[in-house]
């Protein structure tokens, strides 16, 4: 086993330096699985401190390689990798019959930004042309901040309503609505957000017609990333073990002692039902929404005022008994699994539904107000009440 680990550690290091490792001709060939039924794309926007400071990109790729070798996975795992001072490249992790791993560069995207939705769309098209398997999944690996304008959390040069990614010294990001529109022509079995604050109802609702399941966190996410050694075999199983993926994150970060965060599994086909119930609850309640004592609600972020509140706790302040029963029923369908520690980054977690939500009127910033009104959740729940 040590020999194998040394081998693909060298391969990963070579790949990161845009070099190639050549094996003797008598070595078994590295090639994609010939009967793969599933392709997973890791969209890894690592031109930020997650990459060039902490090197979590390298360590996560290393764990993916180990999983493919040790667990005898049948599928195709591709990585769109953006790193500092390097053109983004589409990679594929390959194995051979000796149980060794190599990383093949499929395409280099010179002059492209991974936070540009045109690049995202091109990569998805390329992956599906290279690997036209029965099903596809997407893992989004980067910084993120839910649906909110990016400048609330990073010092961007412009107040752009951008939510996903953080790339380069210019801190470029991607709008949530444009991200969703780019994915719209395609279907994914799942989207896993290895990124902060993405288990908010606004994000899930925007993506409800794009994928079947979402795995994400309503809090910030641990920088070291998902436990890829454990979850890679699950995403390539004949029947994807979504609860197992959430439990693997829980086992690594939440069950151990200390402040470790949260995890949520979302089944998107029930989100319209949840929106209908929430609309019933908020209709005609503008004054009551404004009067809610926000400081008494469960919140998941470290901003003042808070911007991410627990959806259930928020709606509980407005719902009557029958409405709240319907809300609970809908939430139990949307969120089949969730887990959270009692505290995280100094935030007490005592009321955890697995989904966060913005409460209209919390901030008066026009960028936030206008962007929120452009989202599908606002259209379905708050508009024309």
pLDDT tens figures, 203-253: 999 999 999 999 999 999 999 999 999 999 999 999 999 999 999 999 999
Half-sphere exposure at residue 287, Cβ-oriented, CA atoms within 13 angstroms? 1
Residue 84 pLDDT > 50, yes or no? yes
Per-residue pLDDT band at 150 (split at 50, 70, 90): low
Residue 70 has pLDDT above 80, yes or no: yes
pLDDT at 137 over 80: yes
Q: Which segments of the chain belong to CATH 3.40.50.11970?
A: 2-20+35-267
HSE-CB at 178 with a 13 A cutoff on CA atoms is 17
For the stretch 339-374, pLDDT in tens is 999 999 999 999 999 999 999 999 888 888 989 999
d(C-alpha 344, C-alpha 308), whole Å: 14
* pLDDT tens-place string over residues 244-294: 999 999 999 998 866 689 999 999 999 999 999 999 999 999 999 999 999
Q: How far apart are CA 70 and CA 65, in angstroms?
A: 9
Q: If pLDDT is split at 50, 70 and 90, which confidence band does 156 have?
A: low
Token look-up 């998902």 returns 226
DSSP string, 230-286: HHHHHHTSSS--HHHHHHHHIIIIISSSS---EEEEEEGGGHHHHHHHHHHHHTT-H
Q: Whose structure tokens read 């959430």? A: 246
Buried b (16+ CB within 10 A) or exposed e, 265-276: bbbbebbeebbe
| Contact (CB, 8 A) for 61 and 80 | no
The 10s digit of each residue's pLDDT in 186-195 is 999 999 999 9
The pLDDT assigned to 154 comes to 54
- Considering only residues 16 and 294, tell me which one the structure prediction assigns the higher pLDDT: 294
Give the pLDDT score at 211.
98
Contact 147, 206 (CB under 8 A): yes
End-to-end CA distance of the chain: 62
pLDDT of 304: 84
For range 309-314, the mean pLDDT:
98
Phi/psi of residue 218, each to 5°?
-80, -20
> How many whole angstroms from its chain centre is CA 68?
21
Q: Are the C-beta atoms of 58 and 16 separated by less than 8 Å?
A: yes
Strands 188-194 and 135-141: parallel
Between CA 264 and CA 269 the distance in angstroms is 15
Q: Is the pLDDT of residue 23 over 70?
A: no
Better pLDDT: 6 or 64: 64
Write down the pLDDT at residue 151.
62
CB 344 within 8 A of CB 260: yes
Q: Are 211 and 268 in contact (CB under 8 A)?
A: yes
* Contacts of residue 97, Cβ cutoff 8 Å, sequence gap at least 6: 28
Strands 188-194 vs 211-216: parallel, antiparallel or unpaired: parallel
Per DSSP, helices labelled H in the chain are 2-16, 49-52, 56-70, 117-130, 176-183, 201-206, 228-235, 242-249, 271-282, 286-291, 311-316, 321-334, 366-373, 376-381
Q: What is the pLDDT of residue 385?
A: 73
Nearest 5°: CA angle at 43, between 65 and 109?
Answer: 100
> For the domain with range 2-20+35-267, which CATH number is right: 3.40.50.970, 3.40.50.11970, 3.40.50.300, 3.40.50.10540?
3.40.50.11970
């Amino acid at each position: 086993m040590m020999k194998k680990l040394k081998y693909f550690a060298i391969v990963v290091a070579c790949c990161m330096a845009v070099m190639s490792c050549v094996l003797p001709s008598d070595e078994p060939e590295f090639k994609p699985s010939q009967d793969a039924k599933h392709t997973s794309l890791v969209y890894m926007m690592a031109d930020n401190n997650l990459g060039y400071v902490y090197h979590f990109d390298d360590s996560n790729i290393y764990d993916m390689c180990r999983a493919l070798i040790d667990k005898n996975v049948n599928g195709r795992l591709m990585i769109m990798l953006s790193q500092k001072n390097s053109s983004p490249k589409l990679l594929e992790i390959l194995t051979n019959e000796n149980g060794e791993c190599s990383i093949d560069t499929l395409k280099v995207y010179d002059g492209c930004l991974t936070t540009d939705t045109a690049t995202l769309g091109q990569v998805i098209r390329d992956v599906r042309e290279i690997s036209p398997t029965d099903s596809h999944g997407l893992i989004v690996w980067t910084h993120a901040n839910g649906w909110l304008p990016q400048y609330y959390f990073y010092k961007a040069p412009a107040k752009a309503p951008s939510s996903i990614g953080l790339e380069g010294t210019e801190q470029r990001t991607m709008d949530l609505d444009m991200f969703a529109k780019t994915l719209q022509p395609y279907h994914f079995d799942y989207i896993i957000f290895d990124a902060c604050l993405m288990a908010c109802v606004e994000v899930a609702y925007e993506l409800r017609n794009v994928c079947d399941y979402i795995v994400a966190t309503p809090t910030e996410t641990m920088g070291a990333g998902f436990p890829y050694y454990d979850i890679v075999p699950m995403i390539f199983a004949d029947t994807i073990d979504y609860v197992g993926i959430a439990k693997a994150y829980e086992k690594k970060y939440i069950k151990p002692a200390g402040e470790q965060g949260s995890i949520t599994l979302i089944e998107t086909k029930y989100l319209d039902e949840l929106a209908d119930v929430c609309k019933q609850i908020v209709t005609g309640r503008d004054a009551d929404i404004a009067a809610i004592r926000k400081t008494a609600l469960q919140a998941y972020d470290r901003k003042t005022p808070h911007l991410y509140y627990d959806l259930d706790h928020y709606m509980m302040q407005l719902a009557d008994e029958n409405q709240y029963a319907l809300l609970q029923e809908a939430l139990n369908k949307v969120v089949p699994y969730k887990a959270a520690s009692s505290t995280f980054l100094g935030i007490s977690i005592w009321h955890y539904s697995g989904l966060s939500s913005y409460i209209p009127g919390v901030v008066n910033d026009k960028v936030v107000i206008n962007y929120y009104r452009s989202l599908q959740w606002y259209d379905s729940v708050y508009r024309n009440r």
